[in-house]
């Protein structure tokens, strides 16, 4: 898959172009939104963005894994993982299919 990576700078520039805030205000706005999303996830909340998808944190329990190089069994400690589920609208857009709702 070839393509560009979208960065904070790209998002800030897009806000600057579309909304008309100054470049500094656009960067602050993007930073504020990303911080709010991060803080909500740290608090264990689900973040739902309409027509985009939802982010949530899931707890995974301890399990036994295997070192692929040596075959040795090793414990994998319990941890939290970030989960993203794309909305149907986003999935359809990625696949180039249209939806009747808008």
pLDDT in tens, 67-84: 999 999 999 999 999 999
Question: How confident is residue 97, by pLDDT bands cut at 50, 70 and 90?
Answer: confident
Predicted pLDDT of residue 99: 58
Strands 73-76 vs 53-60: parallel, antiparallel or unpaired: unpaired
Q: In whole angstroms, what is the distance from residue 13 CA to residue 26 CA? A: 7
What SS3 state is found at 92? helix
Of 53, 59, 61, 60, nearest in space to 84 by CA: 53
Predicted pLDDT of residue 78: 96
Predicted pLDDT of residue 102: 46
- Give the chain's mean pLDDT: 93
pLDDT one-digit tens code per residue, 42-55:
999 999 999 999 99
pLDDT one-digit tens code per residue, 2-32:
689 999 999 999 999 999 899 999 999 999 9
Eight-state DSSP code of residue 69: T
């Amino acid at each position: 898959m070839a393509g560009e990576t979208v960065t904070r700078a790209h998002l800030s520039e897009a806000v600057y172009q579309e909304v008309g805030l100054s470049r500094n205000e656009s960067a602050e706005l993007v930073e504020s939104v990303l911080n709010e999303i991060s803080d909500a996830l740290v608090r264990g909340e689900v973040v739902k963005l309409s027509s985009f998808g939802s982010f949530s944190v899931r707890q995974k329990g301890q399990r036994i894994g295997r070192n692929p190089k040596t075959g040795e069994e090793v414990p994998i400690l319990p941890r939290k993982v970030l989960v993203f589920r794309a909305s149907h609208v986003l999935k359809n857009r990625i696949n180039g299919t249209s939806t009747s709702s808008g």
